Amino acid sequence: MLLTSLYRDHTLDRPEAVRVGDDPLSAGDLVAAAAAVADRIAGAAAIAVDATASLHTVVAVVGALAAGVPVVPVPPDSGHAERAHILRDSGATAVLAAPGRTSTDHTGDDAIAAIPIDLAARSASGFPAPAQDDTALILYTSGTTGVPKGVLIPYRALAAGLDALADAWAWTPDDVLVHGLPLFHVHGLVLGVLGALRVGSRLVHTVRPKPQAYAAAGGSLYFGVPTVWSRVCADEPSARALSGARLLVSGSAPLPVPVFERLTALAGQPPVERYGMTETLITVSTRADGERRPGYVGLPVHGVQTRLVDDTGAPLAADGETVGGLQVRGTQLFAGYLGRPDATAESYAADDWFRTGDVATVGPDGWHRIVGRASTDLIKTGGYRVGAGEVENALLAHPAVAEAAVIGAPHDDLGEEIVAYVVTREPVTEKVLIDFVAGHLSVHKRPRRVHLLNSLPRNAMGKVQKKLL
């Protein structure tokens, strides 16, 4: 059973296993409410969940997993076209939603019923444990390279991935996990809800990841994305209030080095960084009992292997300098893209290593530094290979720069030129920023152009949407 800790006698008596905002739920009530959901949907081919930041989402997801029905989390703010595509493509037969959000969904000419989630309902039903290779979740990609694809996550992947993180982070039932991340991605749902339930630790979801809410929660373990940690650092009292926590974890995007250093100074400990994808869950992480280096995501977690390859697929040296395509393999990888055997096959090398699409360096000691997406963050300029993240961190070191994103733009002579998009705290000129980077890095890594913006386009997880730039 995936969520084994919920069924242990000592956790069933816990008066508060999960709290979302001001709404608590005991472990026993969660199990009984989830069983009531399972009673209603057992046998469904797949079930969608209107994944609001609420106890309704937690109960719905746990109930579907208990019934062995694949869960399709749907972003609550998704537009009509995106929502219709997810519902139609996944084959969901109904949508579980909070009573105030129930309505019939239409996918083309077809209608999908909405089932209200009753938090007061209770059932003592039991269900057989699903097979390890059965699909637990169908998570949809961001769709940056076309329509979103359904990623099939089997129960074995969830168990292996969460157990590996419990090992790396020394995560135990005595922990109190706090976060306010969306409940339709790997970070907020898989790690932030299912991880806590599998380990047996208490979960406090703050609905939104506001610094004051994090500070007031009194957790031992905190999850956040770089945008969250940047806002925490801007609120010094809240940042200092986290000094009693055991672990601060950052993920979903690279944590800028200035934010890493500021959080370390204010909270009294460096954050843990980790790396993963929807298709692979978390594959690389800093360990709770290990070193934490700014700009690095650590070592492969238990059960995962990694390697770097060049453009032809040939292995590259782990020398800490050579940038290559990152490939991974392990038991926690996905089972393929729903209805897309062609895309599944293309995502693997001939010897069954998964192509992440990210570029990285690996040191002789095994430490990984993620350069970024091969399509947007590896810039080939004038014969050099430059990682966008390195230039972004150099820009962020300037006191006038609040946010920075760097891309490669087509150039007749250089192949690509480095272009920066910057949000500033105070007036600064393009030339000053270009010269500043040239003084901190090799001259060929300087931006050729700098655009000053009021804000950078970001998605729900705080990642900069560089395709829009």
pLDDT tens for each residue of 415-447: 789 999 999 999 999 999 999 998 888 788 899
Task: Indicate whether 202 pLDDT > 80.
Answer: yes
Percentage of residues in the chain having pLDDT higher than 70: 94
Is the pLDDT score of 7 beyond 60? Answer: no
Summarised one tens digit per residue, pLDDT across range 144-194 is 556 789 999 999 999 999 999 999 999 999 999 999 999 999 999 999 999
Q: Which domains does the chain have, with CATH numbers?
A: 1-373 (3.40.50.12780), 378-452 (3.30.300.30)
Mean pLDDT value of segment 116-143: 92
Look at residue 1 and tell me whether its pLDDT is greater than 50. no
pTM reported for the whole predicted model? 0.85
pLDDT band of residue 332 (cuts 50, 70, 90) is very high
Q: Is the pLDDT of residue 6 over 60?
A: no
What pLDDT is recorded for position 4? Answer: 53
In DSSP terms, which residues pair with 328 in a beta bridge? 306, 354
Confidence at 105, pLDDT banded by 50, 70, 90: low
Rounded CA-CA distance 152/128 in Å is 21
